[in-house]
Amino acid sequence: MTAPAAHHPWSTHIRLVAPGAALALIVGGTALELQRVFPARWALPDVLVALIVGSLVVNSPLSKWLGLAAHDRGRNRYGAGLAFVGKTILRASVVLMGLRIEARLFESRQLLAIALGLVTALPTTFFVTRALAIPLRVPRRLADLIASGTMICGASAVNAVAPVIGARRQEQGVALATIFLYSAVALVLFRGVAAAAGLDAHQGGIWSGLAVNDLASAVAVGAQMGAGGAEMAAVSKSARVLMLAPVLILFSLWRAERVAGDRPVGLGRTVVGHIPGFVVGFLILALLRAAGDRLFGGAAGWRTTLAIDRQVVAFATVAVSAGIGLHLEIRGLLSAGARAVVLGAGACATMSGLTLTLMVLASRGLRAELILTSVAAVGGSFAVWQLVRRTRSFLVISAEVSRRHRAVTASGPIFLPPSVSAPASALTASGAHRRASATGEHRLP
């Protein structure tokens, strides 16, 4: 007998990811070719073209022929490869973006906008989301998942916060669908909004990193802004991702619930497990770029390395955008509950609108107005949240009192049994009930 051939784990992994990765690369390459064919007046960013081509594929009859439908994605031959592109390739490209960060690109006003954006937009978005969840009657845990995904880094934040607050699988799925829906909206709308607000490529990239939900979409939107936009988006998004650890700590303190068989979730393990390694790699290569420019900035080898890095990152970003488009199935985007979609719209509008306002003020050097806007946003949103909470509590108490009053009224008069009602009737007939003593007691005849 011939022994079965042993397969190396790496060869098995390559066979799994090859079809999906090849599909994303083909769609990305098609997008690059289409961009060259378009007339100059119709020119669109390559990442946006890749997104459109991918979404056309998944929403056309070609999807059924390829087996790309959502109900097939878990078991078809493309799922593993598309996941590889959306996670591994994306994070590797973000790490390589560190070599494209030049210290001279940053101004004090941009750094101030990033810092104030994190300090202001995160708590404001949380307070607004919790306030809106009350009249919309969205469950608290679902509201927290939507808030965390909007505040930090999309699906990664949702998946990290879910075990800390004891969220159900269904709530987690609805939150993910909602977050992804508004990431898709950002891919279409944000470039025009940034242009209307007067932001340049670098400022638009910073805004993309501060406002767009997930990492892939943030980098893709930043790339639409122009040269240097993707790098700026990666910088601000990386700073935003680092806020995941303190957010997990706060959620665990505020939502000290026991899950998984009455066993508490290990906070230390949860926080450490979700500190992204790609952010560390990005920072290391950014420092390497700063050192390289200072030590041998004019060397031909160094410039060639940077040029290769730029081409690799550009093509990887297009492939990631194509992978996003291949997941933009219309029916899947519309599967989230109506209330969750409305709540997500409020959260995303708060996050994007506030960070855009801060970026515009920072770009114009209006520091006093910038700080005043930050204080007013956090304080005002907290006050509104508390007002809505107290109003709900008052309405709940009023409704309970009214319900009990109606229950007593509907019960009618109380009829006593004959053994009790006979002596009471005799007492009434004798008039003894009117002869009360000074102490309030009745003297029996």
pLDDT in single tens digits along all 445 residues of the chain: 444 544 557 777 788 888 888 988 998 888 888 877 776 656 566 777 887 888 888 888 887 787 776 555 555 678 888 888 877 887 788 788 778 766 665 666 677 778 888 899 999 999 999 999 999 988 888 899 999 889 987 777 887 787 778 777 678 777 877 888 888 888 889 999 999 998 988 889 999 999 998 877 888 888 889 888 888 888 888 788 778 777 877 777 765 544 444 444 455 555 555 456 776 787 788 788 888 888 887 788 888 998 898 888 888 878 887 887 787 777 665 655 788 889 999 999 999 999 999 988 888 878 888 889 999 999 999 999 999 989 988 888 888 888 887 777 776 555 545 554 455 444 445 554 444 444 444 343 4
- Grouping H, G, I as helix, E, B as strand and the rest as coil, residue 17 is helix
Q: CA nearest 376: which of 126, 124, 178, 201?
A: 124
CB atoms within 10 A of CB 410: 7
DSSP sequence for 328-356: --HHHHTTS-HHHHHHHHHHHHHHHHHHH
The span from the CA of 73 to the CA of 92, in Å, is 24
Amino acid at 367: R
For residues 13 and 189, what is the distance between their CA atoms, to the nearest angstrom?
37
**What is d(CA 329, CA 336) in angstroms, rounded to the nearest whole number?**
13
pTM: 0.65
Q: What long-range pairs does 68-71 form, CB within 8 A, spacing at least 24? A: 68/326, 69/329, 70/329, 70/331, 70/332
Distance in angstroms (rounded) separating the CA atoms of residues 31 and 57:
12
- CA separation for the pair 14, 139 (Å, rounded): 42
The token pair that represents 69 in the structure block = 């439908």
Closest CA to 112 of 210, 227, 221: 210
Burial of residue 205, with CB atoms counted within 10 A of its CB: 0-12 exposed, 13-18 middle, 19 or more buried: buried
Residue 133's CB: how many other CB atoms inside 10 A? 25
199: helix, strand or coil: coil
Query: Are 250 and 127 a contacting pair, CB within 8 Å?
Result: no
Return the pLDDT at 338: 82
Q: Report whether 137 contacts 339 (CB < 8 A).
A: yes
Contact present, 195 and 187 (Cβ < 8 Å):
no
Extended strands (E) in 52-149: none
Length of the chain: 445
